[in-house]
Amino acid sequence: MRKTVVLIIASLFFFCLFRETTATTFFTLSLVMASAYGLSRLNSRYVLASKYPLIGLCLALSPVLIIYPGLRASWGMAAAAVVLAFYSIALFLVTTEAKNRQIYKEAIGLSLLYCASALNLFLTGRFALMLPLSVSVLLFLFIINRVRIMPFVGGYTVACMVVLWATGAPVLGRDVPLYDVQRYALFACAFALLLIAFMAFMKRTDFVAVLSFFGLLYVSVDLLMSIGFHLSGVLVHQPILGLIVVGPLMGMVMKGGKERP
């Protein structure tokens, strides 16, 4: 029952991201939802095992983009930078919260990931996307009462804003011609999915539940910043990239936090 409800809400959410529904869009959405369902059937230990490979790829992407500047204009590299930034930081925070590591280890690890992610996004022209990610991390740390690490993330957020101002990078997103019904549907679906993830998080704070909650928190923040404040985001302004980032999260929400990695 839970998987069916999440599948329906997520499908409606993704369809509302696109102004026009073409055969290609329908096929892409169907593929994403099928992949999410398949991921929900996968043992969570395999998801957890992807933590260090993703972190390693995030750190390795920076020297690649520096050595080969011609790759920076590639959409594939930009997509890789966004995906690696989100999932490397998300998996690090979730597993750190579970293991309750010492603060200096959290600070060093998070600093390395933030610097690498910010550099990757800057080199690929997507640096403004660090803002919704940083705000989501701050809210997540506040909710799980990891306030000791919040000053570091707050400092990184301020540094990102300074860099955006100094470089004149575009922060405001372009106007997206969404109907009012689409806007309301997007917010309603995001809130419903966040509520489902939050209920699972309150019942059992295991790896899957915490990752699902953080992911849906990011979705809500990105939508609010994009539609409410007209800032540059992933989901509304770059829906294909948003599918790649958010699609796997729906599989985690379907799992419901019922198994340990």
Q: How many residues are there in the chain? A: 261
- pLDDT of amino acid 176: 65
Lowest mean pLDDT among 184-188, 199-203, 212-216: 199-203
Rounded Cα distance between 122 and 126, Å, is: 6
Compute the average pLDDT of residues 181-199.
89
Strand partners, 172: 231
pLDDT grade, residue 4 (50/70/90)? confident
- pLDDT of amino acid 175: 64
pLDDT grade, residue 65 (50/70/90)? very high
- pLDDT, one tens digit per residue, over 104-130 is 778 888 889 999 999 999 999 888 888
Mean pLDDT across the chain: 83
Rounded Cα distance between 193 and 172, Å, is: 26
- pLDDT of amino acid 256: 63
> Are the C-beta atoms of residues 84 and 120 closer than 8 Å to each other?
yes
Helix (H, G, I), strand (E, B) or coil at 172: strand
- pTM exceeding 0.95: no
Rounded Cα distance between 195 and 198, Å, is: 5
Asked whether the predicted pLDDT for residue 260 surpasses 50, the reply is no
- pLDDT of amino acid 101: 62
Q: Give the chain's end-to-end CA distance (angstroms, integer).
A: 23
On the CB side of 209, CA atoms within 13 Å amount to 18
